[in-house]
Amino acid sequence: MAKLVVAEKPSVAKAIANVLGAKDKKAGYYEGAGFLVSWCVGHLISFATPDAYDEKYAKWRIEDLPIIPDKWKYITSPKTKKQLSVLKDLFKRSDVTAVINACDAGREGELIFREVYEYFNCKKPIERLWISSMEESAILEGFNALRNGKDHDNLYQSALCRSQADWLIGMNYSRLYSSMYNTNLSLGRVQTPTLTMIVERELKIQNFVKEPFYTIELDGCGFVATSEKIKDKTEAEAIKDRCNGKIAVIKSVEEKKKELSAPKLYDLTTLQREANRMFGYPASQTLNCAQNLYEQKILTYPRTDSRFLTEDMADGMPELVTSICEILSFSVPDDEDDTINVSVVVNNAKVSDHHAIIPTLHASNISIDSLPTAEKNILMMVCTRLIAAVDAKHIYAETVVTVDCDGEIFKTKGKTILKNGWKSIEEAFNVNFGKKRLQNDEKNLPEVSEGQKFEVIASTREGFTQPPKQFTEDILLSAMENAGVEDMPEDAERKGIGTSATRADTIETLIKKEYIKRKEKILIPTEKGYSLVKVLPDEDSIKSPILTAEWEQKLKNIEHGELAAKDFIKAIGDYVRGMIKANSTASEENKALFPSNNSTGAVVGECPRCGGNVAETAKTFSCENVWNKTCGFALWKDNRYFALKKKTITTEVAIALLKEGRIFMSGLHSEKTGKKYNATIFMDDVAEEGGNMRTSFRMEFEKK
CB within 8 Å of 70: residues ≥ 6 apart: none
Query: Which among 146, 7, 16, 148 is positioned nearest to 90, based on CA atoms?
Result: 7
Question: Three-state SS for 402?
Answer: strand
> Amino acid identity, residue 602?
A
C-alpha 179: how far from chain center: 30
With vertex at residue 291, the alpha carbon angle to CA 694 and CA 3, rounded to the nearest 5 degrees, is: 85
Give the separation between CA 101 and CA 4, rounded to whole angstroms: 9
Query: Which among 153, 499, 488 is positioned nearest to 354, based on CA atoms?
Result: 499
CB 299 within 8 A of CB 359: yes
Of residues 177, 301, 396, 575, which has the active-site annotation? 301
Q: What residues does 254 pair with on adjacent strands?
A: 400
DSSP annotation of 601: S
CB 60 within 8 A of CB 629: yes
Question: What are the φ and ψ backbone dihedral angles of 409, each rounded to 5 degrees?
Answer: -105, 135
CB 37 within 8 A of CB 43: no
Contacts 24+ apart (CB under 8 A), 180-183: 180/62, 180/584, 180/585, 180/586, 180/591, 181/535, 181/586, 181/590, 181/591, 181/593, 181/594, 182/594, 182/596, 182/597, 182/627, 182/628, 183/594, 183/596, 183/597, 183/627
301 labelled catalytic: yes
Sequence length of the chain is 704
DSSP annotation of 542: G
DSSP annotation of 642: H
For 136, 268, 293, 378, the CA distances from 320, given in Å and listed in that order, are 15, 20, 17, 18
For 14, 294, 404, the CA distances from 385, given in Å and listed in that order, are 30, 17, 44
**Cis link prior to 66 (omega < 30° from 0)?**
yes
Q: What residues does 257 pair with on adjacent strands?
A: 397
Give the separation between CA 395 and CA 422, rounded to whole angstroms: 10
Give the separation between CA 87 and CA 96, rounded to whole angstroms: 12
Number of C-beta neighbours around residue 159 at 10 A: 23
Query: Which among 287, 286, 283 is positioned nearest to 472, based on CA atoms?
Result: 283
Element (H, E) at 511: helix 503-512
Give the separation between CA 305 and CA 493, rounded to whole angstroms: 9
Residues with catalytic annotation?
301
